[in-house]
Amino acid sequence: MALPLISGIKMQEPPAGKSVNIQFGGSRSSSAIGERGADLTLEIPLLGGPSCKTLLDQCSSINEQDGFIIGEKENQIAGIACMEVEKSPENPALELYNTLIKLTGSRQIHRIWNYVPSINEECNRLENYRSFNIGRHQAFVSAYGKHYSNRISPASAVGVKGTSLAVAFIAGNEVMQNVENPEQTPAYKYPPEHGPKSPSFTRGSSGTIDGVQMAHLSGTASIKKDQSLGNNDFIKQYETTLDNMHLVSTTLGFPAALGHNSQDITREFTFYLRNSEDLATATGLFRKTTGTSGIQCTRFLHADICRNELLLEIEGSFSRPLTN
């Protein structure tokens, strides 16, 4: 039986004008161009909050390029793509990322979202997430060489139902500064126990885009150094995750982003839950942390996390106008 959506939260429609969006709660994953722009529809159950995440609005053009749908707006672009996965996601990840890197060109990649089918299942004795990381890593190294970590961005990778690997990104001419968490090993430096190739992402980034201070917080979970904490303990995992989020958001220059009084900050969160039964607990904890205003800008999704023992993951984006 489907779970009821959280009460008091209005579903979000794509903004007026052409935009590139991610739509959650679809019956199958796909990407398409429509009258209002382009949508990446994902087979990820929506438990509550806005169903639409807009990557780029007011696009001057939207078209298909090399299997991606690309929206452009002045110095920024956003892209979405889906690819069928027959067995291991390694080669599809390599192909999608080779194309993503080609399409971004000299622009800096600002943020990437990855949705991996059967993320915790194995193919050829290797977990699908770890296979995905091999393909992603190979694409970055092939394009940027041994110093590829200077060109990666914040990212998230969670499970999606069905058999399509989906990728979405935003990029632009503006420079975003990457940051790490002092209490976590950089993901791209994880030891081999976490897979043949390390995950290729940073913990966060910040910069100025069109006169607005912007920050992206990667998908964050209950990990210190490179080890998961709080096995089977949802509250412990939440507390560790929030501690990591505070550390990174403060470094990004948004120390109030997780509080009740977010001041002049516009914020958006996505809360991934491995078990849908944890929705009420998650909502209560996050409301206590961020207030009602925080809950109103948070979507809750039912999705597998990149490690079997992890029960939740949270990501965020923050912005505020520059002060004179």
Dmax over CA atoms of the chain, in Å, equals 57
- Per the structure, the complete domain to which residue 173 belongs is given by 19-321
How do residues 70-111 score in pLDDT, each as one tens digit?
A: 999 999 999 999 999 999 999 999 999 999 999 999 999 999
Does residue 297 belong to any structural domain of this protein? yes
Reduced to 3 states (helix: H, G, I; strand: E, B; else coil), residue 203 is coil
Reduced to 3 states (helix: H, G, I; strand: E, B; else coil), residue 144 is helix
Q: In angstroms, rounded to a whole number, what is the distance separating the alpha carbons of residues 289 and 312?
A: 16
Residue-averaged pLDDT of the chain: 94
Quick one: which of 320, 267, 272, 319 has its CA closest to 295?
A: 267
Does residue 258 belong to any structural domain of this protein? yes
Quick one: which of 64, 90, 58 has its CA closest to 79?
A: 64
- Residue 323 has a pLDDT of 75
How do residues 128-151 score in pLDDT, each as one tens digit?
A: 999 999 999 999 999 999 999 999
Does residue 1 belong to any structural domain of this protein? no
Whole-model pTM: value is 0.95
- Residue 14 has a pLDDT of 63
Q: How does residue 69 score in pLDDT terms, banded at 50, 70 and 90?
A: very high
**CATH code, domain carrying 210:** 3.30.1330.40
Mean pLDDT confidence for 242-260: 97
- Residue 13 has a pLDDT of 60
Q: Which helix (H) or strand (E) holds 183?
A: none
Do residues 94 and 152 lie in contact, with contact meaning Cβ atoms separated by under 8 Å? Answer: no
CA torsion sign, 142 to 146 to 151 to 153?
Answer: positive
Does residue 11 belong to any structural domain of this protein? no
Does residue 63 belong to any structural domain of this protein? yes
- Residue 12 has a pLDDT of 54
The C-alpha angle 164, 169, 171, rounded to 5 degrees, equals 160
Mean pLDDT confidence for 176-204: 98
Flag whether pLDDT at 8 surpasses 50: no
- Residue 11 has a pLDDT of 39
Does residue 9 belong to any structural domain of this protein? no
- Residue 262 has a pLDDT of 79
CA torsion sign, 141 to 144 to 147 to 150?
Answer: negative
Does residue 5 belong to any structural domain of this protein? no
* HSE of 174, CA atoms in CB hemisphere, 13 A: 22
Does residue 212 belong to any structural domain of this protein? yes
Domain count, the chain: 1
Flag whether pLDDT at 50 surpasses 70: yes
Give me the residues paired with residue 11 across strands: none
Do residues 97 and 135 lie in contact, with contact meaning Cβ atoms separated by under 8 Å? Answer: yes
Indicate the DSSP class of residue 225: B
Name the percent of the chain lying above pLDDT 70.
Answer: 95
Give me the residues paired with residue 120 across strands: none
- Residue 9 has a pLDDT of 36
- Residue 37 has a pLDDT of 96
- Residue 3 has a pLDDT of 40
Q: In angstroms, rounded to a whole number, what is the distance separating the alpha carbons of residues 209 and 110?
A: 11
How do residues 154-169 score in pLDDT, each as one tens digit?
A: 999 999 999 999 999 9
Q: Of the given ranges (15-29, 157-171, 224-238), which has the lowest mean pLDDT?
A: 15-29
Q: How does residue 59 score in pLDDT terms, banded at 50, 70 and 90?
A: very high
Tally of CB atoms within 10 A around 194: 19
